[in-house]
Structure 1
Amino acid sequence: MQRENLIKKWLDNNLNTEEQNAFEQLEDYNELIKMDTALKDFKAPEFSSDQNYQALKPHLKPKSSTANQWLKPLLRIAAILALGFSVYYYTTTLDTTVETRIAQHTTIELPDNSTVDLNANSTITFNKNQWTKTREVSLEGEAFFKVAKGQKFDVITTDGIVSVLGTQFNVKQRKSYFEVTCYEGLVAVTHNNKTTQLEPGHTFLIRDGKLLANEKENAVQPQWLHGESSFTSVPLKHVIAEFENQYNQTVVTKDIDLSRLFTGSFTHNNLDLALKSVTIPLNLGYSKSGKSILLKRE
């Protein structure tokens, strides 16, 4: 029992002078010291020798057993290695997530100096530690990318994967709406295991489950970067959804055909002007009540 108490106090650095002398007389003293020296480069978590010793005590053999002499140090090594692997796994798999709220835009710089402009009510996720191996981001919502020259760059969405080299493009992934527009370079869009390449000015659009053709885009950037949402023959329900992303308002409709097509735009900076921009071309009226807007036929 004296031997066990000495080892326990040694593990806790709690030996007095007399106990230290007794500890140095143990037959396996040199082996214990070598083991302790090997552990100096590790930073171990808080360790309760008493608690761990009591847990192991029923399994310990008499002190003459070699297993008993080495079990305690090996337990410390196992705990330290487990901690090390846990820290490594956590730090290398930890993702960075950036979110925007309603009516909020932000710009993110990625580890390779690529930039992402994130539209309202959107989320982007990437891993800084794995970036040199895998340049990819996950996107929910809408973002405009300026990709630095380099290896393959992927944008992962629930509707498809956008793969590029250095280029500029916009990705919009909302409910029942997936749109990719290339502004510079070459973009490859993979949807349902089929890949489509886009040159500057061309768009890939899946709306309500249907692949649609689009007119060539002449702008050098999407309009939302300049505080305006624009649409060309887009069903009203998608226009309303985007309106709710840009304004902290809930839009309620009454006796309105939400499949009606809208061509036009609305500003992000003036609620009434935005409402008029949408309702007047469609011959609709509206009324406001707190955070709610009612759209109705005139």
Structure 2
Amino acid sequence: MEKYSTYQTEDFLRDDSFINWVLDPEGENNQEWTKWMNSSAAKKEAARKAVDIIRTFDFKKETVSAEFYNNLKQRIDNTIAREQAIPLQPKRFTGGWMKAAAVITALLIGGLVLYYVRKPAYTYISTPYAAIKTVWLPDSSEVVLNANSSIRFNRKRTNGKREVWLTGEAFFKVRHIDKAGTAQPFAVYASDAVIEVLGTEFNVKAINNTTGVLLQQGKVRFSIPASNATTIMQPNEYCQFSTGQGKISTRVANPVLFTSWLDHKYRFEKATVQNVCETLKEYFGFDFIIERPVLKTQVISGTLELQNLETTLFVLHELLHTTIVATNKQVVIK
């Protein structure tokens, strides 16, 4: 993965492995990309731009047509043209080089076609930073995606199954469906966890190998297949599993603390400044740097409006009584 540290935005937009990861973060062989994106901030800037660009394409996988791929190639080429910051010096190419370039382009497009043809008929929907989107699933269940999150699902259910794969955070309102007197199952796959549902409302957040579920109404089964761990959740319970912890922890919680983002705000109650900054980083996409170590463990309570970064940082400044400076995708708290 070291070579990617020198990539520019246009390089990522032409990299099959990177595109596959953006479209299917939980897919096989994609974990290395997740680890790489969580490494040094200096490496991520060009990749982050490419992620936002790819997500705007709003991929739908039900059909595969020449028009789709022509449109994809045209949009990527147009985007790359806009991203070019330094004009290149004119170079002369021989006919042989032009033929080679044509062959490489044909192989690339052919590979993309093969990839999409062999993939199941999934629909991918994602949100950029600082945005929230409501999605209606084929069964009329409602999903509200928080910022920097994505889901995929198969519009053509097989064997009566309703399944959703989540990366990031989302709130679900699952429609209860009976067929021949039997309730049809609904499952959410988030990181290592599986949340099985029967008509309920709940919040799921799966980030950095930690999955947390807040149940607002109904009943769900929260399980970790790899660890043979499972629990039945009741309303107002919060369950969390992290790879490092290795077990499911359960406690009674205030639902508002986990669902306030639906109203474009974050409400914190006795949260450390470090945790607050990590939450804001996921929403806005800025890296938060806390210069004073003692400030990281300071506990605060309050509500941060998510209208824009400037408003949020002003309120945070009032809560912390400290200087906050935002520049170049970084927020420095002094």
> Which amino acid counterpart does residue 231 of structure 2 have in structure 1?
T
Q: Following the alignment from structure 1 to structure 2, what is the Cα–Cα distance between the partners of residues 260 and 235?
A: 5
CA RMSD of aligned residues (A): 3.0
Contact 1:264 1:278 in 2 (8 A): no
Q: Following the alignment from structure 2 to structure 1, what is the Cα–Cα distance between the partners of residues 318 and 251?
A: 25
| Superposition deviation, residue 283 in structure 1 | 4.7
Structure 1: runs of 5 or more not aligned: 1-86
Q: Following the alignment from structure 1 to structure 2, what is the Cα–Cα distance between the partners of residues 265 and 206?
A: 26
**Higher normalized helix content (fraction of residues):** 2
Q: Following the alignment from structure 2 to structure 1, what is the Cα–Cα distance between the partners of residues 217 and 146?
A: 19
Q: Following the alignment from structure 1 to structure 2, what is the Cα–Cα distance between the partners of residues 201 and 145?
A: 15
Tell me the residue number matched to 1:236: 273
Q: Deviations over 1:118-171 (max 9, x none)?
A: 000001011112355321111010000010112111000113111111111110
Equivalent residue for 2:330, pick from 279, 292, 295: 292
Tell me the residue number matched to 2:161: 134
The 3 A distance-change label for structure 1 pair 205 and 285 is farther
Q: Following the alignment from structure 1 to structure 2, what is the Cα–Cα distance between the partners of residues 178 and 123?
A: 15
| Superposition deviation, residue 202 in structure 1 | 1.3
Matched, 1:204 2:204: no
| Superposition deviation, residue 256 in structure 1 | 2.6
The 3 A distance-change label for structure 1 pair 188 and 235 is farther
> Which amino acid counterpart does residue 197 of structure 1 have in structure 2?
I
Tell me the residue number matched to 1:178: 211
Q: Following the alignment from structure 1 to structure 2, what is the Cα–Cα distance between the partners of residues 241 and 91?
A: 37
Contact 2:237 2:250 in 1 (8 A): no
Q: What is the TM-score when the length of structure 1 is the normalising length?
A: 0.62
| Superposition deviation, residue 117 in structure 1 | 0.4
Q: Following the alignment from structure 2 to structure 1, what is the Cα–Cα distance between the partners of residues 291 and 150?
A: 31
Q: Deviations over 1:145-203 (max 9, x none)?
A: 01011211100011311111111111011115321011111011113321111111111
Q: Following the alignment from structure 1 to structure 2, what is the Cα–Cα distance between the partners of residues 167 and 223?
A: 18
The 3 A distance-change label for structure 1 pair 140 and 248 is closer
Equivalent residue for 1:267, pick from 305, 319, 325: 305
> Which amino acid counterpart does residue 229 of structure 1 have in structure 2?
Y
Q: Deviations over 1:23-71 (max 9, x none)?
A: xxxxxxxxxxxxxxxxxxxxxxxxxxxxxxxxxxxxxxxxxxxxxxxxx
Contact 2:147 2:284 in 1 (8 A): no
Q: Following the alignment from structure 1 to structure 2, what is the Cα–Cα distance between the partners of residues 246 and 220?
A: 15
The 3 A distance-change label for structure 1 pair 120 and 220 is closer
Q: Following the alignment from structure 1 to structure 2, what is the Cα–Cα distance between the partners of residues 119 and 282?
A: 25
The 3 A distance-change label for structure 1 pair 239 and 198 is same
> Which amino acid counterpart does residue 159 of structure 1 have in structure 2?
D
Q: Following the alignment from structure 1 to structure 2, what is the Cα–Cα distance between the partners of residues 284 and 213?
A: 35
Structure 2: runs of 5 or more not aligned: 1-113, 178-183
Tell me the residue number matched to 2:143: 116
Q: Following the alignment from structure 2 to structure 1, what is the Cα–Cα distance between the partners of residues 174 and 292?
A: 45
Tell me the residue number matched to 1:255: 292
| Superposition deviation, residue 287 in structure 1 | 1.7
Equivalent residue for 1:102, pick from 110, 119, 129: 129
Quick check: which has more Rg, 1 or 2?
A: 1
> Which amino acid counterpart does residue 143 of structure 2 have in structure 1?
V
> Which amino acid counterpart does residue 165 of structure 1 have in structure 2?
L
Equivalent residue for 2:220, pick from 175, 187, 196: 187
Contact 2:148 2:282 in 1 (8 A): yes
Q: Deviations over 1:233-269 (max 9, x none)?
A: 4443332122123325332221335354443331111
